[in-house]
Amino acid sequence: MSLPDLKMVKHKDLNLYTGEKARIISTLYQASDVYFKNYYKKTDPKELEKELKKYFVNTSYPVPQEALFDVHQELIHQSSSEPHRYHIFGTLESLKINGSRASVEAGFVTESDYGSWSFISAFETVKINNNWYITGLATFPESGEREKVVAVVQKFVDRAEKGKRFYFQDEKSNVLYNKIMKKKIKMGQVQFWSLGDPNLASNVGSAVYTKVYLNVEDKRYKLLVKKNTSWNIERLDDERLWHLF
């Protein structure tokens, strides 16, 4: 989407659409367009990754964030084999720039042949070689809640690496835990989810779950951490990594 098309974004601050802010908004729209275009059709995984890399990227600083991995995995597993017509509308809720990074909250509505779909998402973006990319989806890297989750998961990781038992309520998690015991475990992206469909959390306060990637040798797992009065480990899984369940 070209910059003149940013008039589709509604916001009370008309001066928002200048300089870096305008470029970030343009990246969000183009990324959303690529997402929906490929959601409604089957695309070769390698060609899809090449297209997504124009707008999405995985980064490790200041915390691991993997929007490229998440979106690519979702689209190759869930996209439709039948083409659809669609149209996107967007509303910018907030945008905060901090040097080469920016946090954005935006709402989108897509209308297709099969109805409409609306959602609000929190994006973390990063500027690399003078271009803006989406690197995190509902990751909230500077939030206090993330620090709490990381502390809980780190205790879990330490326990597993030392070969100490941990008991889950479901059998599959226990089987997988036995496989990762006494191995080197690297904690990856922490992502916040709210219940409903479920959906990615639009703000950290609405999150009920976090999905945390654990990289063990050459295999990746997802650890689900649920918030009751505090954050607690609930499940370990190695399937449907792009989704909560």
Residue 4 scores a pLDDT above 50: no
Measure the CA–CA gap between 245 and 239, rounded to whole angstroms. 9
Domain range for 36:
3-137
Rounded to 10 deg, the angle between the 67-78 and 19-39 helix axes is: 20
**141 near 46, Cβ under 8 Å?**
no
Is residue 101 assigned to a domain?
yes
**211 near 224, Cβ under 8 Å?**
yes
Question: What integer best gives the mean pLDDT of the chain?
Answer: 87
- The per-residue pLDDT for range 137-160, each reduced to its tens digit, is 999 999 999 999 999 999 999 999
- The per-residue pLDDT for range 17-45, each reduced to its tens digit, is 668 999 998 999 899 888 878 877 788 99
Measure the CA–CA gap between 71 and 47, rounded to whole angstroms. 14
Question: For the chain, give me the number of helices (H) and strands (E)?
Answer: 5, 11
Q: Do 128 and 232 share a domain, yes or no?
A: no
Residue 119 scores a pLDDT above 90: no
Is residue 68 assigned to a domain?
yes
What does the angle CA 5 – CA 50 – CA 70 come to, to the nearest 5 degrees?
A: 85
Q: Do 12 and 124 share a domain, yes or no?
A: yes
Is residue 245 assigned to a domain?
no
Q: Do 86 and 187 share a domain, yes or no?
A: no
**166 near 153, Cβ under 8 Å?**
no
- The per-residue pLDDT for range 45-98, each reduced to its tens digit, is 999 999 999 999 999 999 999 999 999 999 998 756 565 666 667 778 899 999
| Main-chain dihedrals φ then ψ at residue 131, nearest 5 degrees | -120, 145
Is residue 209 assigned to a domain?
yes
Q: Do 50 and 131 share a domain, yes or no?
A: yes
Is residue 243 assigned to a domain?
no
The CATH number assigned to the domain holding 158 equals 3.10.450
Residue 172's pLDDT band, with cuts at 50, 70 and 90, is: very high
Q: Do 105 and 176 share a domain, yes or no?
A: no
Among candidate residues 85, 118, 137, the one where a domain is terminated: 137
Measure the CA–CA gap between 237 and 148, rounded to whole angstroms. 21
Q: Do 19 and 34 share a domain, yes or no?
A: yes
The domain total for the chain is 2
- For the chain, the farthest-separated pair of C-alpha atoms sits apart, in whole angstroms, at 58
Q: Do 109 and 195 share a domain, yes or no?
A: no
Among candidate residues 112, 137, 162, the one where a domain is terminated: 137
Is residue 160 assigned to a domain?
yes
| Main-chain dihedrals φ then ψ at residue 132, nearest 5 degrees | -95, 135
Measure the CA–CA gap between 103 and 208, rounded to whole angstroms. 21
Among candidate residues 137, 161, 185, the one where a domain is terminated: 137
Residue 10's pLDDT band, with cuts at 50, 70 and 90, is: very low
Token pair 């205790």 in the structure block, residue: 155
